[in-house]
Structure 1
Amino acid sequence: MSESSAGRKRANGEGTIYARKDGRFEGAAYVLMTDGTVRRQRVYGRTRREAFDKLAKIQQLSREGIPMPSESWTVERFLAYWLEHVVKPGSKPKTYEGYEGIVRVHLVPTLGRKRIKSVQAADVRRLLLRAGNRCRCCEEGIDAARPEKQRKCCAVGRCCGKYPGTRRLQQIHAVLRNALQSACKEEIIMRNVARLVSVPAPNYRVHRGVDVEQARKLIAESTDDRFHALYVMTLYLGMRRAELLGLAWADVDLAAGHLEITQTLQRVDGALRLVPTKTRSSERTVPLVGLCVDALRAHRARQAWEASQTDGWTDSGLVFTSTTGTPLEPDNLRRSWYPLRERAGLTGTRFHDLRHSAVSLLLGLGVPPHVVRDIVGHAHIGVTMEIYAHASLAEKRAALAKLDERLR
């Protein structure tokens, strides 16, 4: 039978299907809604079969007690609701700040006016394509064919031409996917189309950091540095920068020889704040031994002297502070770290690489991976082993030398 024969007698339960003037087919049937009512809902298809299949699907879901969304939310309206009532109550301030920024800069401008029920996988792909073509600095679209039309970046006086990396696109996709999943749970939409779109995983470059001799030199070079104890603890315990700067004296017990990591220092909404640790596994108690204890005792004595010599000293209760006792701006640690790494011959080494160094040094001594994981606060042991899997050239040479000896 031809698809144009829209006037045939329909079967029981089929609903209504008829041809539209624009060439498409429209179907309609009464189905259960999320507000408990039964309403007439419409579906559309390029062919009669497509419209019939869509109509049959919503009717089947209705018979199974799965309702259709009763509200016609726009993406912008739902995202505002989601941020306020789902993300904010259940997330840390830094997480909420990151989600809000992605929603405001990327999701709302591209998808905000669309009805959330009408968002398709193609819309998600267009979103990611547009995000990938936006200047990271000024968030303006980059038109390679008409560079004279580009707006100047407020930061550098011109469009910097830096595109978001794979990691940023993955974050944008993840925020949209999480939001749509929440909409599914609240029965506002029936499926999460963001799950139909894949984003390439970022290729992380893992730095193993420094070896034993380099670590010794770093400790020796930092002896007179104001943050000597901070570098010692990073190399021994693999603490994150935010954990070190959020460490309070109340959580350090030098007599018993241990400390508790319960909070971190982060910049949230433009202000430095003490917030809970990154994950539950990050909240941990670790022992203090040898040089860690000595360095912390010397640091406490030095801090007490600074407090006595400084007018207007603020007692923040933190172990590592500014020269006036206030929480230390994380980026200001570079003023100490950059000169130190130059003196130690570690040009290019990042401060975070010292955390990786602690993992590698401990595993290299034969410490069981699960013990190392608990010391540094990794969520999964796979993260611990991934860092160590990047063997040094010396280790590779030694392994091949053993094989050479055996084969000879």
Structure 2
Amino acid sequence: MPPARRARKRANGEGTIYPRADGRYEGAAYVLMSDGSRRRQRVYGKTRDEVFDKLSELQRLSRQGIPMPSESWTVDRYLEYWLEHVVRPTAKPKTHQGYEVVVRVHIVPVLGRKRLKGLQAADVRRLLAVVEHRCRCCAEGIDARRPEKKRKCCAVGDCCESFPSVRTIQQVHAVLRNALQNAVKEEIVFRNVARLVSVPTPRYRVHRGIDIEQARKLVTASASDRLHALYVLTLYLGMRRAELLGLRWSDVDLTAGTLEIVQTLQRVDGELRFVPAKTLSSERTVPLIGLCVEALKSHKAKQAWEASQAGEGRWTDSGLVFTSTVGTPIEPDNLRRSWHPLRASLGLGPVRFHDLRHTCVSLLLDLGVPPHIVREIVGHADIGVTMNIYAHASLAEKRAALLKLDERLR
């Protein structure tokens, strides 16, 4: 009778699996950590096979030189670190502010106390479901936490009612996905679970702005407004509000007929700041022609007159093209004090100031200007934005095209 086979002795680091008093199984093995050391890590499961698979995966990664995270972060602690040490030094202040609002209002209240390493796709789906519920409540004027009460918005400290539900969900998902991708890069977690969750793509419906006749009336009606030149530049060049309010006279060459867009004016963290243009393509030089030159020359003369009338010590020489009556930068939200009465006098309804930028794009495309030229004038980052969002044929254009076909077919 052959001798009994002796059990193979486990090698150092191979790991052990044993039952727990609570009925589950526990496994442990020494694996590589992100700080370069090797430490004993534990895994748990309902069955021995489940624990064996988890332990085998840890050891496989360790053999490939992929370390286990050595930090035991909670989601809120990691996101605080990410915002301060990753986003703030590399992103624009407005971007950091937007990310901070999403983290504080939406992500932390739902996932803040969870361990980052234990985060799963199901947790991300639960977060997005909560966001969708809140946005629906906001739209209906209901407090999501106290449905019996009515309030303007359920989000603590910040209102999301101005964003469609799909767009808000997409923003929250994008912020969490970006944060977790950095955690993967820094070897704090193995995988980005947010990438395992799909979100609906928002459908952008950009208002084409006002028509050519309304634009003509706006130019005429704004002639008596001290910001007449601002409306002209918006309609002719499609400049953004922040670009207009950050424009300096040093960026304007009335003799050569050119205008450079290099900075914007934004309110960030409670204070007005000059920040670089939105994207690299937003930094652009555009020609000044006709009414643009005339309006800027007239505006410069009026500004000089305002400075002389302000009195000694009251005028601030900010060097900006568009200023308050004492030379200081214009608060972006205060532009509505000029725009709303002008809009009402023309009967334009709820048209936003930003829709004048859309008007410029639409009118240029309607005139047959090549999309790549339109893109460079208005500073779109991608020509796809110019074509996919703005370049929609009007009913009149469709009718004309079908009439041509009708003539051929007859």
- Provide the TM-score with structure 2 as the length reference: 0.89
Q: 8 Å contact 2:208–2:359 — kept in the other structure?
A: yes
Q: 8 Å contact 1:359–1:372 — kept in the other structure?
A: yes
Q: 8 Å contact 1:208–1:360 — kept in the other structure?
A: yes
CA deviation string 1:273-318 (max 9, x = no partner)? 1111111111111111111101100111111111111231222111
Taking a change above 3 Å as real, the CA distance of residues 381 and 90 of structure 1, as seen in their structure-2 partners, is same
CA deviation string 1:133-180 (max 9, x = no partner)? 33659x99615xx634x596699xxxx995962222222221111111
Counterparts of residues 6-405 of structure 1 (less than 5 Å): 15-134=15-134, 142-143=144-145, 147-148=147-148, 150=149, 165-311=165-311, 312-405=314-407
Rounded Cα–Cα distance in structure 1 between residues aligned with 2:322 and 2:83: 34
In structure 1, the gaps of 5 or more residues are 1-7
Q: Which amino acid aligns with 1:373?
A: R
Q: 8 Å contact 1:27–1:52 — kept in the other structure?
A: yes
Q: Which amino acid aligns with 1:124?
A: V
Rounded Cα–Cα distance in structure 1 between residues aligned with 2:399 and 2:99: 46
Query: Which has the larger displacement, 127-136 or 303-312?
Result: 127-136
Taking a change above 3 Å as real, the CA distance of residues 234 and 162 of structure 1, as seen in their structure-2 partners, is closer
Q: Which amino acid aligns with 1:37?
A: S
Rounded Cα–Cα distance in structure 2 between residues aligned with 1:399 and 1:35: 67
Rounded Cα–Cα distance in structure 1 between residues aligned with 2:358 and 2:144: 37
1:392: Cα distance to partner? 1.4
Q: Which amino acid aligns with 1:60?
A: R
SS in 2 for 1:275: strand
SS in 2 for 1:129: helix
Q: 8 Å contact 2:247–2:321 — kept in the other structure?
A: yes
Q: 8 Å contact 2:143–2:151 — kept in the other structure?
A: no
Rounded Cα–Cα distance in structure 1 between residues aligned with 2:280 and 2:175: 22
Rounded Cα–Cα distance in structure 2 between residues aligned with 1:154 and 1:322: 33
1:58: Cα distance to partner? 1.2
1:65: Cα distance to partner? 0.6
CA deviation string 1:366-406 (max 9, x = no partner)? 22221111111000001111234322121122122222222
1:17: Cα distance to partner? 2.4
1:354: Cα distance to partner? 1.4
Taking a change above 3 Å as real, the CA distance of residues 269 and 361 of structure 1, as seen in their structure-2 partners, is same
Cα RMSD of the aligned pairs, angstroms, is 2.5
Rounded Cα–Cα distance in structure 2 between residues aligned with 1:96 and 1:75: 18
Taking a change above 3 Å as real, the CA distance of residues 112 and 227 of structure 1, as seen in their structure-2 partners, is same
Query: Which has the larger displacement, 301-310 or 253-262?
Result: 301-310
Q: 8 Å contact 2:31–2:39 — kept in the other structure?
A: yes
SS in 2 for 1:26: strand
1:193: Cα distance to partner? 0.8
Rounded Cα–Cα distance in structure 2 between residues aligned with 1:90 and 1:136: 33
SS in 2 for 1:223: helix
Taking a change above 3 Å as real, the CA distance of residues 403 and 48 of structure 1, as seen in their structure-2 partners, is farther
Q: 8 Å contact 1:177–1:192 — kept in the other structure?
A: yes
SS in 2 for 1:322: coil
Rounded Cα–Cα distance in structure 2 between residues aligned with 1:87 and 1:368: 37
Rounded Cα–Cα distance in structure 2 between residues aligned with 1:293 and 1:161: 40
